[in-house]
């Protein structure tokens, strides 16, 4: 089977996203041509390393490429100052040079952390994204956003630093738990909802097959998501405008994640899916789209076996006013006003600061009461 390529045409920062089955086995062949010397540094998620690292190092060895490996604990807590220091000091210990390449082998946490380390190491070193979760394959590994969390919130410190290539091996998704796969699918559905109604229709038909493991459906879902992300990033690399569309559902999601302590109670992609449903509900109440649109969003999430209601988040949630307060730390605040991504219909989202807080409050109140 030949790999599927999505090109991200960013001038001198252009790169390819290689999507397919068995990509990891071709890593040496794919990475080799960009190396100045036959050596890479790999920073891996420890859990992913236990499952898949031997395949990666064997593929690199097969092309005569030596590798050093640093394995870091799985989980969002790894994306912090302490691990950034650890990665950078390790790269210095290895005496990596500016011409060398570091490989991020894991999900979004590893990709964001290693990308940021690569951005600041010797004022910028190249890095390869090898995303191993669905969320990372369709979103975080593409587009050059890198960074860490601080005690003030998620992703508040970071840099735009585009990868040299993205290698997305669809086979690695087979070892995800169904919950992690579906959380990543929240970001896939987001692309259809924000800008591509035919893709959302395709997902309504093929999404369940993708969740059940169908390789072609998975490749197509990842390809379309990456193509849409590439198109948006090329229009607005540093998020001065259109790139904010990628945050559909995220203002609600960030408040829910903060309210649940960034814990296992709510995974990021689950929050995105619920957030998309709430964004469409808000849009309908504002008269921007028909009531059928939020119903269709919720029906698809239900058909996929995903969370779509606040009542499906275990434990207590704060009231609507407290959730709105938590939105205030969102990076989309401009001059103190919250920016929301609203929709005129499925596949037709837009950015606005003109959302009446009372409407958001009433949507949240009803959602909290299970209405």
Catalytic residue of the set 52, 83, 126, 145: 145
Catalytic residue of the set 79, 161, 250, 298: 250
Q: DSSP secondary structure string, 53-118?
A: HHHHHHHHHHTT-EEEEEEE-SSGGGSSHHHHHHHHHHHHHTT--TT-EEEEEESHHHHHHHHHHH
Catalytic residue of the set 83, 187, 196, 220: 187
Give yes or no: 243 in active site.
Answer: yes
Give yes or no: 123 in active site.
Answer: yes
For the CB of residue 95, give the shortest distance to ligand GLY in the complex, in Å.
32
Give yes or no: 161 in active site.
Answer: no
Q: Is the C-alpha dihedral spanning 188, 174, 271, 311 positive or negative?
A: positive
Nearest residue to ligand GLY, using CB?
Answer: 246
CB atoms within 10 A of CB 213: 11
Give yes or no: 47 in active site.
Answer: no
Give yes or no: 268 in active site.
Answer: yes
Q: Is 331 or 361 the residue whose CB approaches ligand GLY more closely?
A: 331
User: Rg of the chain's alpha carbons, rounded to an integer?
Assistant: 20
For the CB of residue 144, give the shortest distance to ligand GLY in the complex, in Å.
8
Rounded to an integer, what distance in angstroms lies between the CA atom of residue 132 and that of residue 284? 36
Give yes or no: 52 in active site.
Answer: no
For the CB of residue 65, give the shortest distance to ligand GLY in the complex, in Å.
29
Q: Is 139 or 180 the residue whose CB approaches ligand GLY more closely?
A: 139
For the CB of residue 138, give the shortest distance to ligand GLY in the complex, in Å.
10
Give yes or no: 239 in active site.
Answer: yes
Q: Whose CA is closest to 52, among 103, 113, 15, 90?
A: 103
Tokens of 181: 């796969």
Q: How far is CA 93 from CA 44, 88, 96, 286, in A?
A: 17, 9, 8, 56
Q: Is 60 or 253 the residue whose CB approaches ligand GLY more closely?
A: 253
* Residues in contact with ligand GLY by the rule CB under 6 A: 139, 143, 145, 243, 246
Catalytic residue of the set 83, 154, 220, 247: 247
For the CB of residue 315, give the shortest distance to ligand GLY in the complex, in Å.
26
Q: How far is CA 330 from CA 47, 169, 369, in A?
A: 30, 32, 25
Tokens of 169: 């091996």
For the CB of residue 244, give the shortest distance to ligand GLY in the complex, in Å.
8
Scan for tokens 């036959």, then name that residue.
38
Q: Containing H/E element for 28? A: helix 27-31
CB neighbour class for 211 (10 Å; exposed up to 12, middle 13-18, buried from 19) = buried
Q: Is 3 or 139 the residue whose CB approaches ligand GLY more closely?
A: 139
Tokens of 162: 């585009």
CB atoms within 10 A of CB 351: 16
Give yes or no: 344 in active site.
Answer: no
Catalytic residue of the set 154, 254, 300, 308: 254
Which residues are catalytically annotated?
Answer: 123, 145, 187, 229, 239, 243, 247, 250, 254, 268
């Amino acid at each position: 089977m030949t790999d599927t390529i999505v090109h991200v045409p960013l001038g001198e920062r252009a790169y390819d996203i290689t999507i397919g089955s068995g990509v990891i086995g071709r890593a040496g062949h794919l990475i080799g041509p960009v190396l100045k010397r036959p050596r890479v540094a790999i920073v891996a998620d420890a859990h992913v390393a236990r499952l898949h690292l031997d395949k990666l190092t064997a593929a690199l060895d097969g092309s005569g490429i030596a590798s050093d490996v640093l394995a870091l604990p799985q989980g969002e807590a790894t994306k912090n100052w302490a691990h950034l220091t650890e990665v950078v000091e390790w790269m210095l210990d290895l005496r990596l040079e500016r011409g060398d390449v570091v490989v991020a082998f894991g999900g979004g946490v590893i990709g964001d952390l290693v990308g940021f380390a690569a951005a600041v190491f010797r004022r910028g070193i190249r890095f390869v994204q090898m995303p191993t979760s669905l969320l990372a394959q369709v979103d975080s590994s593409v587009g050059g956003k890198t960074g860490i969390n601080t005690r003030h919130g998620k992703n508040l410190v970071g840099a735009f630093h585009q990868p040299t290539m993205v290698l997305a091996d669809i086979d690695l998704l087979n070892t995800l738990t169904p919950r992690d796969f579906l959380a990543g699918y929240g970001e896939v559905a987001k692309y259809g909802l924000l800008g591509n109604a035919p893709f959302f229709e395709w997902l309504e038909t093929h999404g369940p097959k993708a969740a059940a493991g169908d390789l072609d459906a998975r490749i197509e879902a990842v390809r379309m998501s990456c193509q849409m992300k590439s198109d948006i990033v090329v229009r607005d690399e540093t998020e001065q405008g259109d790139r904010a569309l990628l945050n559909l559902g995220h203002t609600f999601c960030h408040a829910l994640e903060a309210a649940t302590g960034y814990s296992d109670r709510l995974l990021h992609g689950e929050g995105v899916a619920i957030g998309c449903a709430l964004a469409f509900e808000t849009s309908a109440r504002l008269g921007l789209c028909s009531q059928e649109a939020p119903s269709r969003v919720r029906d698809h999430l239900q058909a996929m076996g995903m969370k779509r209601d606040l009542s499906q988040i275990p434990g207590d949630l704060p009231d609507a006013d407290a959730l709105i307060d938590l939105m205030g730390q969102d990076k989309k605040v401009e001059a103190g006003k919250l920016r929301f991504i609203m929709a005129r219909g499925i596949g037709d989202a837009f950015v606005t600061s003109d959302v009446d807080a009372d409407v958001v409050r009433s949507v949240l109140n009803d959602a909290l009461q299970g209405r």
